[in-house]
Amino acid sequence: MELGFLLISMVKIAAILAYLYGVLWILGHQNRGIKIGGLIVAFGVIQALLLDFGGFQVLTDFDSGLLFQACTMTMVALGLNLIYGFNGQFSLAQWGFYGIGAYTAADITYRWGLGDARGLLIAGLGVILGGLMILAVRRLVRRYKGMPVLSQFTLYLIGSVMAGAVAVFIGNALNPGLAPLFGVSDAPGILASPVVMQIVFFLAVLIAGAFAAEVSFLFGLPVLTLGSDYFGIATLGFSIVIQTLMVNTDTLLPFPEMKGGRGMIGIPKLTTWFWAFLFLIAVIIIMRNLIYSSTGRAIMSVREDETAAKAMGIDVAFYKLFAFVVGSLFAGIGGGVYAHYIGFLSPGTFDFLVGFNPLIIVVFGGLGSMTGTIAASFGWIFFLEGLLRVLLGQMGTEAPTWRYVLYPIALLLLMLLRPQGLLGNVEWGFLKRPAIKLRDAAPTASVSK
């Protein structure tokens, strides 16, 4: 039994890696028709495996659970790789932003499901106003050169509070007008229809990402001025603050529906393979296009040598903040997708100790390797949760705890044998550096002697 299970799990991991390779190859294909067709096929393959053919299902609920976990983990870890692997800022806050995204998105759809549009209205408006506020304050700050960072931060903070207050006011004012459209449980109105629910879910995930990004902007602005190690400690503090707030959502924060430490239950389970696949591919495409642009080179130059980057005309403070915000955006989106898959959020999930997982994945896959992060996220979940937990579970009830002995040992061995990470600098298909069409003739200029 154990041996058979081991073999099947190995085949599964190999199959999922082959699948990822295929998806990246398709994404990188020159022909647009093949690209789009291939993506539909790639989506369809898993979708078909997930279908229930009268009691027979290739991918069981357990497997699909792993799959969705791996997808969200990939988004979180890719974001962290942008911050740590490409920009060189050691951050432990990623897990906090993941949690912020999860709770934000969950609250929006949960309230919507109960016929309360305030979640969407307030969060949506708040995020939009917050974004506009940041742009406006940024323009103001630029006019006064040499303004201390803490003064800037204060301005942004005041702006955020004002934007939030306006959003709450407008949201509360608009909500009664929408209430009749939800109908009653016997006769659901138009807003309670499944289609609208899907749209709300989609918006909720985007809003969750944007909200996490805006929080990371506010947090990162002062904290990114710290040196690398101090920044790491500060981000650890952030993760702890976020988790403490989550435990006390019903007492410290005015969100009784989140139920504090008992965990938020009853979140509509709206995440389908379609949404997970869509968001995953979107994150991968954004990440890759960002890295292989001038902005990406600027981000990497900050990692390589801040002083030289400054001397090359690169605004180091801006690009640190930019990478941090985009990385948090990915984490927030991942959180939104995750929350609606299991339908239950517990603050324990967002404990800062668990927050080391994406960090380990990023290092495991290779800092600065997007393929490595994606492969390591899937491999990690399928190996640790899919294989080890079950395998050890069959040996005794306490045995699964051994995986926290086994995987650190595996990690130690990897660090000793392959310090550059599992895949090093290897990128697959779409994630390879795209070639730029150059003129045919060789460069003509040379020193005339």
Partner 1 sequence: MQNTIPTKTSAVSADYRSLEPTANQPAPVLEISKLTKQFGGLRAVGNFDLTVRQGALDGLIGPNGAGKTTVFNMISGLYAPTAGDILFYGENLVGMEPHEITQSGIGRTFQNIRLFPNLTVLANVLIGYHPHAGYGLFDGLLRNGRFGAKEREMTERAQDFLAIFGLEKYQHELAKNLPYGEQRRVEIARALASDPKLLLLDEPAAGMNPAEIGRLMEYIHFIRDRFNLTILLIEHQMRLVMNICEQITVMDFGEVIARGTAMEIQNDVRVIEAYLGRGAAGRQGVSM
Q: Does 254 bind partner 1 (CB under 8 A)?
A: no
In the set 31, 185, 294, 397, which binds partner 1 (CB under 8 A)?
Answer: 294
**In the block, residue with structure tokens 């939030």:** 164
Q: How far apart are CA 358 and CA 92, in angstroms?
A: 9
| Cβ atoms of 196 and 109 closer than 8 Å | no
Q: Does 370 bind partner 1 (CB under 8 A)?
A: no
In the set 149, 196, 218, 286, which binds partner 1 (CB under 8 A)?
Answer: 286
Q: Decide whether 311 or 417 has the Cβ nearer to partner 1.
A: 311
- Cα 381 to its chain centre, rounded Å, is 15
Q: Does 30 bind partner 1 (CB under 8 A)?
A: no
* Pair of tokens at residue 12: 């599964």
Q: How far apart are CA 103 and CA 126, in angstroms?
A: 15
Q: Does 229 bind partner 1 (CB under 8 A)?
A: no
Q: Does 227 bind partner 1 (CB under 8 A)?
A: no
Stretch that binds partner 1, among 28-36, 286-294, 351-359, 409-417 (CB under 8 A): 286-294
Q: Decide whether 278 or 342 has the Cβ nearer to partner 1.
A: 278
Shortest distance (Å) from residue 425 CB to partner 1: 9
Q: Decide whether 14 or 147 has the Cβ nearer to partner 1.
A: 147
| Cβ atoms of 392 and 133 closer than 8 Å | no
Q: Does 70 bind partner 1 (CB under 8 A)?
A: no
Q: Does 278 bind partner 1 (CB under 8 A)?
A: no
- How wide is the angle at C-alpha 176 spanned by C-alphas 174 and 181, nearest 5°? 100
Question: In the beta sheet, which residues pair with residue 344?
Answer: 265
Query: Which of 322, 131, 117 has the alpha carbon at shortest distance from 211?
Result: 131
Q: Does 146 bind partner 1 (CB under 8 A)?
A: yes
Question: In the beta sheet, which residues pair with residue 188?
Answer: 183
Instruction: Give residues 295-354 in contact with partner 1 (rule: CB under 8 A).
Output: 295-298, 300-301, 304-305, 307-316
Q: How far apart are CA 293 and CA 312, in angstroms?
A: 16
Q: Does 31 bind partner 1 (CB under 8 A)?
A: no
SS (HEC) of 275-318: HHHHHHHHHHHHHHHHHCCHHHHHHHHHHHCHHHHHHCCCCHHH
Stretch that binds partner 1, among 8-16, 75-83, 408-416, 432-440 (CB under 8 A): 432-440
Q: How far apart are CA 369 and CA 86, in angstroms?
A: 9
Stretch that binds partner 1, among 51-59, 149-157, 243-251, 437-445 (CB under 8 A): 437-445
Shortest distance (Å) from residue 293 CB to partner 1: 3
In the set 290, 360, 410, 422, which binds partner 1 (CB under 8 A)?
Answer: 290
Shortest distance (Å) from residue 443 CB to partner 1: 4
- Cα 166 to its chain centre, rounded Å, is 28
Across 322-449, the runs of DSSP E, i.e. the strands, are 344-345
Which residues bind to partner 1, rule: CB under 8 A?
145-146, 286, 289-290, 293-298, 300-301, 304-305, 307-316, 368, 436-439, 443-449
